[in-house]
Amino acid sequence: MLFDFDTCYDAVKNRDARYDGVFFTGVSSTGIFCRPVCPAVTPKPENCEFYPSSAAAMVAGYRPCLRCRPESAPNSPAWNGVKTTVKRALTLIDQGALDNHTVRELAERLGISDRYLRRLFSEHVGASPRAVARSRRVLLAKRLISDSADSMTTVAHKAGFSSVRQFNDTFHKLYGVPPSQLRHAYARQAHSN
């Protein structure tokens, strides 16, 4: 244990949030373990044992408190809740998860429904998973257009577009010009500098 008994007990008594997730309190009179910030009545010192993790408290025979939910201590996936799911989805999209797969397949990979995934993205990202993937593809393609000599077909495929036609249509909708014209504009800009 990193801290002595008195430090831990003072943290529990004062519900000190600085120690939340740092240690857990096993209460021998109830058989329950809690976070230091638990709103329950402060246990007597003689009934307290302190553990560095929720797993250690469970191994010692304690069960998690239903009020403070020690399994959801700071920085655990449960504590981060939907942010963890959204972050994981964004990482997978960045890795190309929607280049050749559906939103439903991405949701299944995350263990949620595609409808729920769309709702999370609407609430936390402000765009659909497909829109995020499309944006990622466009930004990568723009970088490849300006920084490489790859053909437009190669750029389209490297950026994750399913076809050259989709690549051209997307650029024409967003920029009003085909990607090749964008490359010429980048080249003119580079020569003028």
Enumerate the active-site residues. Answer: 34, 38, 65, 68
- Element of type H or E holding 64: strand 63-64
DSSP one-letter code for 33? E
CA distance 145 to 189: 13
CA distance 48 to 25: 6
Are the CB atoms for 38 and 65 separated by under 8 Å?
Answer: yes
- Token reading at 186: 């980048």
| Amino acid, single-letter form, for residue 54 | S
Beta bridge partners of 51: 24
CA distance 155 to 98: 17
Pairing relationship of beta strands 24-27 and 63-64 according to DSSP bridges: unpaired
CA distance 86 to 129: 10
CA distance 53 to 75: 13
